[in-house]
């Protein structure tokens, strides 16, 4: 049963959100967690998580997030399968925050809020990119790779995400072009080493995509090599964009201190934002590490920070 005023509302359902939920539940804060527009967050689009502590054989992103959800439910977190659409955050210590969801009329009141809304993949910003999403353009190889079985595809980006996507696709596609704008890869050495062993991955350095070809569905792309000034046409059925992320902070603009890239600013060594009782965890406040394990760690920190905040409020 919902209380009139909650102690803890968590916005987001990635590792940060669920980790915060587990700690907050066990501290009797009776958290309510809003799942948001991507239940389970970005990890649900990851093939295999091999670097999270405690899974020696790795685990699929979907299974991992399902386990996180079950663990939070085991401690009675109330999980609401909706998105938060707006917030009013109090400036007062001990103030009540209001969280609106789905229809603007509905609102929850809470002394504490944990923001764990994560981040979303960036777009290239070229013509036809958005129209052809699901028609050849994709941000998730594990979701859409299957449609390109035995065909030629391209992945854009030189970071860990791009190399993971390319590695996954190389196992099902005939050929994978990895298009990298610089003359080196940013990805970790282990992923670079995996890619170098795949003989159907062709890395095109110093290259930018200039055009998407295709009207009703993707048929190809044009690439400009800015070193030797050549333009190449690649006939591909799939284009996987993996060029980084932007934080999901649209609803917090002008309500919380954000940095120039839109990440929530937290006090060093804590998850405190500039609003009393409002804490941020995971990728939404972390442009640097962005790992499942660091997200889960900051989720735990946010629940502990909130618990202490509420305790001091009660004592004053």
- Active site residue ranges: 140, 143-144
160 part of the interface to ligand NDP, by CB under 6 A: yes
> Looking at 18-26, 57-65, 154-162, 210-218, which segment touches ligand NDP (CB under 6 A)?
154-162
**103: which 2 tokens?**
């229809």
**Of 159, 219, 270, 304, the one binding ligand NDP by CB under 6 A:** 159
Q: Smallest distance, Å, CB 67 to ligand NDP?
A: 18
Binding piece for ligand NDP, criterion CB under 6 A, among 6-14, 20-28, 95-103, 237-245: 237-245
- Smallest distance from the beta carbon of 134 to ligand NDP, in angstroms? 20
Instruction: Rule CB under 6 A: choose which of 31, 157, 220, 247 binds ligand NDP.
Output: 157
Task: Say how far apart CA 146 and CA 159 lie, in whole Å.
Answer: 22
Among 65, 137, 156, 258, binds ligand NDP (CB under 6 A): 156
Q: Rounded to an integer, what distance in angstroms lies between the CA atom of residue 236 and that of residue 260?
A: 36
232 binds ligand NDP (CB under 6 A): no
Q: Closer CB to ligand NDP, residue 33 or residue 239?
A: 239
Q: Which 171-190 positions form the footprint of ligand NDP (CB under 6 A)?
A: 181-182, 186
164 lies in the site for ligand NDP, by CB under 6 A: yes
Residue closer to ligand NDP, measured from CB, 118 or 276:
118
- Applying CB under 6 A, among 244, 251, 265, 270 the residue interacting with ligand NDP is 244
Q: Which residue is nearest to ligand NDP (CB)?
A: 159
C-alpha 285, offset from chain centre: 12
Which of 62, 107, 124, 246 touches ligand NDP by CB under 6 A? 124
Q: Which stretch binds ligand NDP (CB under 6 A): 3-11, 76-84, 103-111, 241-249?
A: 241-249
Judged by CB under 6 A, does residue 161 bind ligand NDP? yes
Using CB under 6 A as the criterion, which residues of the chain lie in contact with ligand NDP when the complex forms?
51, 124, 156-162, 164, 181-182, 186, 242-245, 290
């Amino acid at each position: 049963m919902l209380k009139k005023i909650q102690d803890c509302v968590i916005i987001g359902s990635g590792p940060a959100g669920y980790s915060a939920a587990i700690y907050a539940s066990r501290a009797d804060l009776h958290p309510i967690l809003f799942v948001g527009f991507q239940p389970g967050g970005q990890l649900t689009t990851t093939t295999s998580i091999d670097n999270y502590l405690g899974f020696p054989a790795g685990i699929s992103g979907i299974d991992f997030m399902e386990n996180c959800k079950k663990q939070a439910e085991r401690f009675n977190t109330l999980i609401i399968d909706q998105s938060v659409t707006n917030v009013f955050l109090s400036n007062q210590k001990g103030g009540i925050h209001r969280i609106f969801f789905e229809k603007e009329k509905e609102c929850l009141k809470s002394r504490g809020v944990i923001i764990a809304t994560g981040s979303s993949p960036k777009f290239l910003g070229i013509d036809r990119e958005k129209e052809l999403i699901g028609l050849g353009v994709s941000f998730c190889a594990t979701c859409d790779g299957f449609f390109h079985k035995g065909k030629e595809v391209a992945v854009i980006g030189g970071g860990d995400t791009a190399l993971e996507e390319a590695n996954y696709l190389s196992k099902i596609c005939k050929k994978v072009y990895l298009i990298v704008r610089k003359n080196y890869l940013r990805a970790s050495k282990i992923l670079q080493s995996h890619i170098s062993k795949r003989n159907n991955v062709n890395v095109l350095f110093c290259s930018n995509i200039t055009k998407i070809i295709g009207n009703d569905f993707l048929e190809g792309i044009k690439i400009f090599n800015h070193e030797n000034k050549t333009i190449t046409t690649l006939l591909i059925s799939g284009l996987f964009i993996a060029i980084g992320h932007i934080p999901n902070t649209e609803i917090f603009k002008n309500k919380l201190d954000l940095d120039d890239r839109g990440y929530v600013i937290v006090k060093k060594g804590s998850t405190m934002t500039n609003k009393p009782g409002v804490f941020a965890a995971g990728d939404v406040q972390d442009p640097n590490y962005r790992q499942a394990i660091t997200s889960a760690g900051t989720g735990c920190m946010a629940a502990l920070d909130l618990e202490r905040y509420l305790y001091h409020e009660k004592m004053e």
